[in-house]
Amino acid sequence: MKGGAAAPAPAGGAGAVGEAAAAVQAAVEAAAWPPASERLAAVAERIRALPRGPFPAVSDRAAAAVLVGLFEDEGGLVRVLLTQRSSRLKSHRGEVCLPGGKRDEADGGDDAATALREAHEELGLDPSRVSVLGCLPPVLSKHHLSVTPVLALVPPDTVPRPHPDEVAAAFTVPLAVFLGQLSDPRTGAPGPSGAGAGAGAGAGAHTPEPDRNRASRRKRGAAVAAPAQAPAEPMAWWSVDEADGAAPVAAAAPKARGQVDASSSGRDRPISQDCSYGTAEHTFRDIKWDEEMYRIHSFQWGSFDVWGLTATICIAAAQAALGRAPSFQERCPGGQHYSCFYWDGSRVRARKGPEGAETEGGGKAVRGAEAAGREGRPTAAALEAGAGGGAGGLVLPSREQVAAAPDVAVEAVEAEVVGAAAAQ
């Protein structure tokens, strides 16, 4: 150029340059996703650093535990292993849950032993190959059981073998889904503000659901086919009974929720090969439990509906593992966080502690419960009044002194209260 003349500005001016730079930056971030802080090594380190229990129980009834089995898929995403209950069961058939159940005497009072035993019975998971990282504080089921989530690493070469008497299918979900990462940032899908670069709701936004009850779920699941624009059904490992009927079901009619799509069967493939990240949908509903309001969450993943206590545990596990808060409001306005509930022997109550002990988002709720485990166990009256030195625990008889509660499924925890709310 002559006389040091300045180069002509790009068409569109500085604004266009800024937009182009932002687009390039977003593409770079998407290509590098997930970040190192959300890879399995960082997740395991973060969970191991959580305060250790034992945590005070939230009920004087039987104890239970569920396995939050984490692994990294071939694309670098940390995922969680979930199951769908068998159609052979007398209650809550077809509902999604985490592997787990009630504690047996043979477990020796060890929550990890309970979760691993149940996962072995349900999925054939070898306990000797599972690495337990820690536990989250227990939460209350709708049958008033104290349910402890056990966080662990499962081998990525695991091939689930669902027991047909207990489990219809096993499947996996990216852990980030439970923080509002409803579509894959690597696809460039638009996302809600505050969800992180590229984190998207896509076609499934965070929306309230006005009609969320068990009867309507089953009615919709039996009669409503998947939309034509829906992504391919996520990979799943079906029990022998379910897999045998996959081809006829798929050929006879459009797939309904909970039915088997033969093309989605994992069969003998290891869980690490499940790299699917279809568009998820997050819905919620604010309901009342006794005198307390709280928010119930649901995540639709293909034909699988992860909801209720299972969704609550997955949200808390995702926060602990990935080290960030969800992009959605976890607690309803003026309501309680689910982790605040406990059973005092006669009714459900909520801890009334300092601000932050009952919070939207599981991070502070988890820390509040961990503090309770460290600082002692005040009386139920102190809990209700917010006294007891901020401990937030509960004095309970030993489990040896408590008669076993009826044998109920701890995973299906919302049916009664949701049905009652819908009838109002």
Q: Which of 109-118, 221-230, 252-261 has the highest mean pLDDT?
A: 109-118
Lowest mean pLDDT among 13-17, 89-93, 373-377: 373-377
- pLDDT score of 112 more than 50: yes
Average of per-residue pLDDT values in the chain: 73
Reported as a single tens digit per residue, the pLDDT across 179-213 is: 999 988 887 544 332 333 333 333 346 777 655 45
- pLDDT score of 319 more than 50: yes
- Report residue 74's pLDDT band, with 50, 70 and 90 as the boundaries: very high
- Which pLDDT score, from 0 to 100, does residue 322 have? 97
Alpha-carbon distance 291 to 334, whole Å? 12
**Higher confidence at residue 66 or residue 371?**
66
Mean pLDDT (whole number) for 62-71: 97
- pLDDT score of 177 more than 90: yes
Mean pLDDT (whole number) for 377-395: 33
* Residue 105 placed within a domain: yes
Please report how many Cα atoms fall inside a 13 Å half-sphere around the Cα of residue 49, on the Cβ side.
10
- Which pLDDT score, from 0 to 100, does residue 244 have? 53
Q: Which residues contact 149 (CB under 8 A, 6 or more apart)?
A: 65, 66, 68, 98, 135, 136, 138, 139, 313, 316, 317
* Residue 189 placed within a domain: no
- pLDDT score of 73 more than 90: yes
Q: Which residues contact 299 (CB under 8 A, 6 or more apart)?
A: 173, 177, 178, 280, 281, 282, 305, 306, 307, 311, 314
Mean pLDDT (whole number) for 149-154: 98
Reported as a single tens digit per residue, the pLDDT across 117-139 is: 999 999 999 999 999 999 999 99
Mean pLDDT (whole number) for 80-103: 89
* Residue 281 placed within a domain: yes
- Report residue 71's pLDDT band, with 50, 70 and 90 as the boundaries: very high
What percent of the chain has a predicted confidence (pLDDT) above 70?
61
* Residue 313 placed within a domain: yes
Task: Residue 286: give the domain boundaries.
Answer: 24-184+273-350
- pLDDT score of 422 more than 90: no
Mean pLDDT (whole number) for 28-48: 89
* Residue 417 placed within a domain: no
**Higher confidence at residue 329 or residue 411?**
329
- Which pLDDT score, from 0 to 100, does residue 13 have? 63
CATH code, domain with 37: 3.90.79.10
- Which pLDDT score, from 0 to 100, does residue 94 have? 87
* Residue 337 placed within a domain: yes
- Which pLDDT score, from 0 to 100, does residue 278 have? 81
- Which pLDDT score, from 0 to 100, does residue 136 have? 97
The number of domains in the chain is 1
